Structure 1
Amino acid sequence: MRALHRCIACSSDDFAARVWGQRPLLTRAAELPRDYSDLLSPAMVDEIIAERGVRTPFVRMAREGTLVDRSCFTGSAGFGAQIADQLDPDGVLTQYAAGATLVLQGLHRFWPPIIDFVRGMTSDVGHPVQTNAYVTPRANRGFDPHYDVHDVFVLQVSGTKRWRVHEPVHHHPLSDQPWTDHREAIAERSGDEPVIDAVLEPGDCLYLPRGWVHSAEAQGDTSIHLTVGVAPLTGHDMAQAVIESLASEEELRASLPFGLAPADAARAEPHAREVLDVLARVIAERQDQLSDLAGDALAKKYLDLTRPAPVRPLATLDAVAALDPQTRVQWRDGLHGRVDYNGSDGADPDTVVLKLPTKSISFPVVCAPALHAVLEGAPVSAGSLPGLDAADGLVVLRRLLREAVLVAL
């Protein structure tokens, strides 16, 4: 089952058209029906705290809207692990018993079930995804009413929690527009009638677009929920890329008049109009080129914020040693690449380059059909690669395994 469909009862198309970035959506467990105990559970939380050597900043604690000093719940783990910022189970117990919420951050980086789930969500929504867990003692709240600068799917794992959701005071906030910039407006808005006032039970999911004001309070039992955060790529990201690309325009690099005194708005305004006129003309003249640049910049940002499926170094080298013409391998999930022909830009026409986010790998041009085949994502073997015999196919696949491009099945 697709990861997104563990969170919503409607179709992906319906969610995209009616909900995404527009309004909250509460989906009850009975509509799905399923729970999230395979992703996290109270026993798993105890294991993470007691046995996994988790360090800051992968953990924080908060009580009644205020962060707890990390020295209260971290410390050295003794001989062989003398690192001072590891989770101290004794300290966590003390703070948690006193009413502090435990926040496990970046679970998509170290907890296997959530690593797989987040990879699926990233594929489904097409934007970067991360996951935190919030463990709240009975009848306590962790944070004051606020908004997030990313969309969230709240997955109730165990216990219950009451959520109050209010209309935004600042729609579609960017990452550098935190809720603290609107503290007074949020306090006032939280006194209004909420759009949603509901108790989430295990298996329920609440989707909140960025900017929607919310607060949550555990009810009678310990509450654990996952916050699946989505960092949407925006039109502002594309506009920034366009503006940065205009550094090549001589007119825009030229100094404004001597003695401008920009604090005097009346004197600066005519020059601002001139700049806007230049921008409008350049954008009109270079529309296709700027469109390509903006698309490339968006792709780069996406790649910077996401990670492909992890590779297992020891198993990979074992697979390289054991590779035969029938061994099936596959493109690494989430890794982006393309085939470039060097001859198109005047370089060596006898080679072809596999372009990856962090490196480029050159091959003889005869390997191009084989590289296109592995890029398609279906399992392949050395004996089935187009344009190569089995011996040459083994050479190519061994190299792609060593370069962490392919994974053995």
Structure 2
Amino acid sequence: MKLPGGMAADEFLRNYWQKKPLVIRQAFPGMGSPVSADELAGLACEEAVESRIVIENDKGKPWQLYNGPFDPERFSQLPESHWTLLVQGLDHWVPDVADLLEHFRFVPNWRLDDIMASYAPIGGSVGPHFDQYDVFLLQAQGHRRWTFGGQCDETASRVEGTPLRILSDWQGAETVTLAPGDMLYLPPGIGHHGVAEDDCITLSVGFRAPTIDDLLTGFSDYLCNQPDAGAHLSDPDLQCPDNPGAISTDVILRLQELIARRMTDPRQIALWFGQFSTAPKNPDMIVPAEPALTADETREQLAGGAALRWNEGSRFAYHEFDDETALFVDGEQFILRGEARALGPLLCRGNRTQGSAIAGFAQDPALGGLINTLINQGHLYLE
């Protein structure tokens, strides 16, 4: 497996991933932007699309942030330069952008987040800052000058008077200018500042990294929803205490064993994490098919050469147990057994599965029903 640009994925993960930046020239030779500035502005006017405008100096106020959706007239009111439009989750709305994610499958599906588009006229920027996630910055149109370097943390000084977390007194270690097709990888915590040298569009391929709080809260909520969570603590061997105010060591040990048994069960952790990590970022994207297909119609189309494609807002993953495979789709789990286990890895390998590869599974009544259900619920569609 290779990165865009040709570097072996193993070499990248060993030497650069979460370690140091990497500039990849012509990662996508002949790159043309899959969206125009006008199309991004149109998306930013939609209620369901997350968008922002950052103006470097707005009537004397530094780095002002405005959240969409925007009225179309808002764009005619912007200054000629030094502003940026950000559209989050562009891959959810543009299939050609979603296809770019197929070049980043050297990182597990559960780590992929989405692709954000940044349009800026000359001088446009979102200021010097750092992120807590890995990102590939792909230049799709125009040129952007990036200065980057230096590990940052929450103690770094910030610019006052702005809702953005803009670094002050920051000096980068390296400066490069990216042309269309060039790409810059940045690990978490690396300070960076990108400035448009002309009308430019940058695509940011971001990767999720849940916080410890997210993990602990998510798993404890999952355990609280299990069938036995309503059972009461019992103590049939209760003995008369020397002091009724004392909490005995035996009680603490019993509580420790009860909590540890649930918190350290590998199966429960796997089932929870599969659901947790595939929960869709935008549930409104998962729309039931209209009209719904019958299982026979699905089989016919697959046999006829149609491909199965993920909904652009969907997330797929799987986990292998000893005797079964758990398939996770948009926060739901499906347990596969026997020959059906092969369906999980097949559906999760990429966002498109050729009909010839899956038509045989669809002939099985149960698996055909599952595939048909995933289509009708909106997780997959026939292409």
Indicate the TM-score class for this superposition, using the shorter chain for normalisation: 0.5 to 0.7
One-letter amino acid of the structure 1 residue matched with residue 23 of structure 2: L
1:160 aligns with 2:124: no
Q: Secondary structure at the match of 2:204?
A: strand
Partner in structure 2 of residue 11 of structure 1: 8
**Higher mean C-alpha deviation, range 104-113 or range 60-69:** 60-69
Residue pairs, 1:54-203, within 5 angstroms? 54-55=46-47, 58-64=50-56, 66-69=63-66, 85-88=69-72, 90-118=73-101, 121=104, 124-126=107-109, 127-138=111-122, 140-170=123-153, 182-183=157-158, 187=167, 190-191=170-171, 194-203=172-181
One-letter amino acid of the structure 2 residue matched with residue 21 of structure 1: Q
Percentage identity across paired residues of the two chains: 19
Query: 2:22, 2:186 within 8 Å by CA — same for their partners in 1?
Result: yes
For residues 381 and 195 of structure 1, the distance between their equivalents in structure 2, rounded to whole angstroms, comes to 54
1:372 aligns with 2:341: yes
Structure with the higher fraction of residues in strand conformation = 2
Residue pairs, 1:232-247, within 5 angstroms? 232-233=209-210
For residues 263 and 334 of structure 2, the distance between their equivalents in structure 1, rounded to whole angstroms, comes to 29
Q: Secondary structure at the match of 1:317?
A: coil
Q: Deviations over 1:87-120 (max 9, x none)?
A: 41x3213315253211122212212211222365
1:45 aligns with 2:34: no
Query: 2:303, 2:359 within 8 Å by CA — same for their partners in 1?
Result: yes
1:301 aligns with 2:258: no
For residues 213 and 200 of structure 2, the distance between their equivalents in structure 1, rounded to whole angstroms, comes to 37
For residues 401 and 214 of structure 1, the distance between their equivalents in structure 2, rounded to whole angstroms, comes to 42
Partner in structure 2 of residue 313 of structure 1: 289
Query: 2:295, 2:369 within 8 Å by CA — same for their partners in 1?
Result: no
Partner in structure 1 of residue 349 of structure 2: none
Q: Secondary structure at the match of 1:17?
A: helix
Partner in structure 1 of residue 208 of structure 2: 231
Query: 1:339, 1:371 within 8 Å by CA — same for their partners in 2?
Result: no
Aligned-residue offset at 1:355: 7.7
The verdict on how the C-alpha distance between 1:359 and 1:156 changes in structure 2, with shifts beyond 3 A counting, is closer
For residues 316 and 292 of structure 1, the distance between their equivalents in structure 2, rounded to whole angstroms, comes to 34
Q: Secondary structure at the match of 1:300?
A: helix
Q: Deviations over 1:284-342 (max 9, x none)?
A: x86993555544443333112568997882476278547449556777655346899xx
The verdict on how the C-alpha distance between 1:338 and 1:210 changes in structure 2, with shifts beyond 3 A counting, is closer
Partner in structure 1 of residue 185 of structure 2: 207
Unaligned runs of 5+ in 1: 75-84, 171-178, 251-258, 260-273, 345-352
Aligned-residue offset at 1:33: 5.5
The verdict on how the C-alpha distance between 1:373 and 1:98 changes in structure 2, with shifts beyond 3 A counting, is closer
Q: Deviations over 1:30-81 (max 9, x none)?
A: xx461431533xxx221342488534752221111523545xxx7xxxxxxx
Query: 2:54, 2:63 within 8 Å by CA — same for their partners in 1?
Result: yes
Query: 2:362, 2:371 within 8 Å by CA — same for their partners in 1?
Result: no
Residue pairs, 1:381-392, within 5 angstroms? 381=359, 385=363
Q: Secondary structure at the match of 2:119?
A: strand
Residue pairs, 1:322-341, within 5 angstroms? 323-324=299-300, 326=303, 333=310, 334-336=315-317
Q: Deviations over 1:333-370 (max 9, x none)?
A: 55346899xxx9xxxxxxxx9886655789xxxx9656
The verdict on how the C-alpha distance between 1:33 and 1:226 changes in structure 2, with shifts beyond 3 A counting, is closer
Structure with the higher fraction of residues in helix conformation = 1
C-alpha RMSD over aligned residues:
5.0
Aligned-residue offset at 1:21: 0.7
The verdict on how the C-alpha distance between 1:211 and 1:406 changes in structure 2, with shifts beyond 3 A counting, is closer
Query: 2:133, 2:206 within 8 Å by CA — same for their partners in 1?
Result: yes
Aligned-residue offset at 1:224: 1.6
Unaligned runs of 5+ in 2: 57-61, 160-164, 234-244, 347-355
